[in-house]
Chain A
Amino acid sequence: MHELSIAMSIVDMAQEEAQQRGVHITAVHLSLGLLSGVVKDALLSSYDMACDGTPLAGSRLVINEVPVEVYCPSCRAPRTLSSVQWFCCPDCGTATSEVIHGKELEVTALEVEA
């Protein structure tokens, strides 16, 4: 369970941004890839704990889950996997491990009040 330390990094990062811009953050938007190794529910519950006692207390974490997109060498195109247990092109069945998206763990936006 490393979600709490991830949540604390997110809060630190957002707080730094808020200070620089002189704003109050009401929500943090996060892109979370299905191959990031971070569990959404665990991160959500850790987030409130990490916010406690900081200027971000009461803010929300909005998680946008990113599916796994691979490059299919046969179709020569990106394809979205339907399952992380099956790294095959959903169209032609070619096996591929060339991941384009799905490892994201990225703060993408902040909802703020001036």
Chain B
Amino acid sequence: MSTEPRLLEVRKNVLKQNDMVARALRQRFRDAGTFVVSLVSSPGAGKTTFLEKTLTLLRPNHNVAALVGDLATDNDAARLARSQAPVKQITTGTLCHLEAAMVQNALEGWPTGKLDFLFIENVGNLVCPSSYDLGEDLRLVLMSTTEGEDKPLKYPTIFNSSDVAVITKIDLADAVEFDEATARANIQAVRPGMDVLKISAKSGAGMEEWLRFLAARQLRQGTTA
């Protein structure tokens, strides 16, 4: 004879642990006056090149650093280090995304000094990173012209969880017959009102506008903090 099952009500956020660490990080960054930007995209969309360029351009006038998540190699960290900014690799092993605790651990004992900007490059993946808050102020989702226009429709969750979309490799737009209007419409369909920037890290096109945008966001943060 089996006992009748009872239903016990509980209400527990499965990602509570991560959210708590992320909240603490956000507070810590705010207290330190550091503006934190995370980058997500599929593998090969150009996160590292974009970030290397960004660090190089910011470094003369700002204190900047970058954390970079990668499954197995430190190739990206080595590339970013060419910018002369402090760069630290987080090797995730088989894990397909970064979690707040990994960011927290990576910051432990890392002598970066006072930072104006910290960039966190997530693992190349358009699915898993969307669930994990890293304590960032701004989440950029990058999509390259070579990936086609429908990435936002295929991965609505990551686009919806991001603050800004960056279309990369616009120097290749003509060669791959990239339809920018369609791409923009797709972005707006899954995240109405989303800011969209387009850049070529290679030619430098759009980088100035991106840095202006970043400065404006940092300023806005400073006045609301």
A contacts, CB < 8 Å to B: 1-2, 5-6, 9-10, 13, 17, 21, 23, 26-27, 29-30, 35-38, 84-88, 95-97, 99, 105-114
Contacts and interface: CB of A to CB of B under 8 A. Distances in A.
B128 interface: yes
Given A13-B14, A84-B157, 4 more contacts: A1-B128, A85-B153, A106-B12, A112-B5
Interface stretch (B22-30, B59-67, B190-198): B190-198
B157 A106 contact: no
B14 to A, nearest CB: 5
Contacts, number: 104
B8 interface: yes
Interface residues of B, number: 34
Contacts of B15: 6, 9, 105
B69 to A, nearest CB: 13
Given A84-B190, A87-B192, A95-B193, A9 B8 contact: no
A95 B131 contact: no
Interface in B43-73: none
A1 B127 CA distance: 8
* Interface of chain B: mostly helix, strand, loop or mixed: mixed
B160 A99 contact: yes
Give the one of A23, A30, A36, A85 with max B CB within 10 A: A85
B160 A106 contact: no
Contact of A105 (B9, B11, B131, B190): B131
B160 A2 contact: no
Nearest to B3: A113
A114 B156 contact: no
A35 B153 CA distance: 13
A27 B5 contact: yes
27 contacts: A2-B127, A2-B131, A6-B131, A17-B10, A21-B8, A23-B8, A27-B5, A35-B161, A37-B158, A37-B161, A84-B156, A85-B153, A87-B191, A95-B192, A96-B192, A97-B192, A99-B160, A105-B13, A105-B14, A105-B15, A105-B131, A106-B11, A107-B14, A108-B9, A109-B9, A109-B10, A113-B2
